[in-house]
Structure 1
Amino acid sequence: MVDQFVMLALILIKLVLVFAVVLSMAAYLVLAERKILARMQLRYGPNRAGPGGMIQPMADLIKLLTKEDFIPATADRGLFLIAPGLSALTALLTFAVIPFGPTLEIFDQKLPLVICDLNIGLLYFLALSSLAGYGLALGGWASNSKYSLLGSIRGLSQLISYELAMGLSVVPVVMMAKSFSLTAIVMAQETIPFALLNPPAFLIFLISIFAESKRIPFDLPEAENELVGGFHTEYSGMRFGLFFVGEYINLVILSSMLTVLFLGGWHGPWLPGIVWFMVKVLAICFFFIWVRGSLPRLRYDQLMNFGWKVLMPLALLNVLVTGAILLGMG
């Protein structure tokens, strides 16, 4: 009974710590992005709130909480209020299956550094990434605005198109690891990461998560010069902020998944496993920011053509080639 109580307490502590770290990373990624982009564009970023602007996320939170929560008169009130929370909730739930370190021994108990080590963790991630589109779609539709509706339609078609390529890109990973468990996938990369064993799958997954995160050059659902603000045009206050909380949590999630599936997870020399995991995740987040500061937005027809006519055939071909090679080796 005591052992069960200790294990339950450790799981709850782990849950609180992981969510606190993820939310803090999301808040400070906003600041990091603003500072890095400012340096790339030869200007200053936020530097007034605290030393070097370090408490700018807190200032932004206070600003969003104190702004008026405006609801359009013709909006579908229930769906309009629920939509922003869906985006943030689905992003947070995804982190439950991501392993961020090896198993630790605490109080004679083996504590895996993952909230819930599902044997179908990869399928869980794919299912929740599909549900994330509902917040975007409902927010745009419930606003009863042409700009918002166009943004949500763009977002849904983009997510559907690139989720297919993303799903196919992880099939070779499952073939090589012989498991849907994310922990087993990391363990299978103890000697060499799958990014080196299967570079086409890595590149397809990388491009697909750019589209999944709706970031430049794939930020067509927002496209402020075409749609004012896209699916969140009619939102204000903290509900507007929740869409961006979900976006930056999703950025951490997708960077973590890329690390787990293709970059060896926590494996690395000299440093503790959890440190290696964080270094890899932050490096990928920096790459996302770097791309945003370097590339222009694609046209919508270019976005869809690239997804269906280039990524999909390549992903299918890669599955066939990987299967044939593994069959030949086996």
Structure 2
Amino acid sequence: MNLLDTLLRCAAALVVFLTFPLIIGQTEHKVMAHMQGRLGPMYAGGFHGWAQLVADGVKFVQKEDIVPAEADRRVFQLAPAVSLLPYLFVLIVIPVGPNGFVGQAMDAGLFFVLAVTGIGVIGKLMAGWASANKFSLLGGLRTAAQLMSYELPMVLAAASVAMAAGTLSLPGIVDAFHWWWIPWQALGAFVFFTAGLAELQRPPFDMPVADSEIIFGAYTEYTGIRFAFFLLSEYAGILVISALTAVLFLGGWHGPMHDQLGWLWTILKTFALAFVVIWLRVTYPRLREDQLMRFAWTGLIPLALLQLALTGVVKVAIS
């Protein structure tokens, strides 16, 4: 692969990064409007509220960028970028289709993805600590506790599918996929997807930003475009977690005519999972902090270990 080809692939990943999270954000407006009977997102701008996302963008740009007087200014200003950029790097290594349809293939792509996605949470910790606000600090501490609790089941679930495929390469995992893997790895898929939602602090795992208790957690002191970056990082995270779940557990580009339309199947699976993320936000109430932590340590981790054991038994049986 020459330098020009690599640059073009990375540029394509950047375009996806700048457009798909916004599409997911717009979809969330519409889905929640339908499910909850909200009027604004359905009428802004006319036909089906097409201008809602534009109106939100203009609103964020016009707002004043305020830094609290007691805040650690440099860390406070860098936090949104630290939260957002890791998801761009992850998208570069997620395969979209067969025959090298990936920004940059890596032999240890799964290890890279799990390591880099954890960096995005550091941006939220930076925001909570640097804001000089007790509610922000509390949100940051909850974020740290949630990260440590849900990172382990996520890694264990990913290790299960890597063990099944015999490789850490994301394209290699998709190449090794068979349809009978779906019931075999269903438990791991549930653990991985659920832990991913918790790391993104999406409902019902959004205690670090519980508005009824701590205003908006680590984001309390943020305004304008910096606050918009945090929201964009959340939608980018939804894209990444949904794409990874599709690639690891649902066969990625596998589907009818996957040699020609493989990229289409990956995108359809990704957006179907993103819809599930939005649906969960509308459907389930927020967990209490003790319920959230208990669910990770007494629920997801034993299930992830069970999936690892099952994978080991199946691998030995078929070898």
TM-score, normalization by structure 1: 0.92
Report sequence identity in percent. Answer: 40
Partner of 2:272: 283
Separation in 1 of the partners of 2:271 and 2:85? 22
Paired amino acid for 2:214: L
**Structure 1 residues 93 and 70, CA, compared in 2 at 3 Å: closer, same or farther?**
same
**Structure 1 residues 193 and 290, CA, compared in 2 at 3 Å: closer, same or farther?**
farther
Partner of 1:18: 13
Partner of 1:155: 143
Match for residue 31 of structure 2 among 36, 55, 58? 36
| Worse-matched range after superposition: 30-39 or 314-323 | 314-323
Partner of 1:314: 303
Partner of 2:282: 293
Residue correspondences, number: 316
Answer yes or no: is 1:9 the counterpart of 2:7: no
Partner of 1:273: 262
For residues 208-244 of structure 1, what are the alpha-carbon distances to aligned partners after superposition, in whole Å with 9 as ceiling and x for unaligned?
A: 1111221110011101111101110000010111111
Check whether the contact 1:193–1:262 (CA below 8 A) recurs between aligned residues: no
Name the SS of the counterpart of 1:114 in structure 2.
coil
Paired amino acid for 2:208: P
- Pairwise CA distance, 1:102: 1.1
- Pairwise CA distance, 1:193: 5.8
For residues 62-101 of structure 1, what are the alpha-carbon distances to aligned partners after superposition, in whole Å with 9 as ceiling and x for unaligned?
A: 2212210000000001100000110111111111110001
Paired amino acid for 1:52: H
- Pairwise CA distance, 1:195: 2.7
Give the alignment of 1:120-139 within 5 angstroms: 120-139=108-127
Answer yes or no: is 1:81 the counterpart of 2:77: yes
Separation in 2 of the partners of 1:143 and 1:84? 12
Partner of 1:61: 57
| Worse-matched range after superposition: 91-100 or 266-275 | 266-275
Q: By percentage of residues, which structure has more helix? A: 2
- Pairwise CA distance, 1:149: 0.5
- Pairwise CA distance, 1:45: 4.1
Check whether the contact 2:13–2:88 (CA below 8 A) recurs between aligned residues: no
Check whether the contact 2:193–2:241 (CA below 8 A) recurs between aligned residues: no
Partner of 1:302: 291
Separation in 1 of the partners of 2:314 and 2:266? 30
Separation in 2 of the partners of 1:16 and 1:325? 41
Paired amino acid for 1:211: A
Separation in 2 of the partners of 1:217 and 1:193? 31
Partner of 2:186: 199
| Worse-matched range after superposition: 52-61 or 166-175 | 52-61
Paired amino acid for 2:150: Y
Check whether the contact 1:34–1:45 (CA below 8 A) recurs between aligned residues: no
- Pairwise CA distance, 1:43: 3.0
Partner of 1:109: none
| Aligned residues: CA RMSD | 1.5
Give the alignment of 1:241-260 within 5 angstroms: 241-260=228-247
Check whether the contact 1:50–1:56 (CA below 8 A) recurs between aligned residues: no
Structure 1 runs (4+) deviating above 4 angstroms are none
| Worse-matched range after superposition: 167-176 or 179-188 | 167-176
Name the SS of the counterpart of 1:21 in structure 2.
helix
TM-score, normalization by structure 2: 0.95
Paired amino acid for 2:302: P
Paired amino acid for 1:310: G
- Pairwise CA distance, 1:160: 1.3
- Pairwise CA distance, 1:313: 1.8
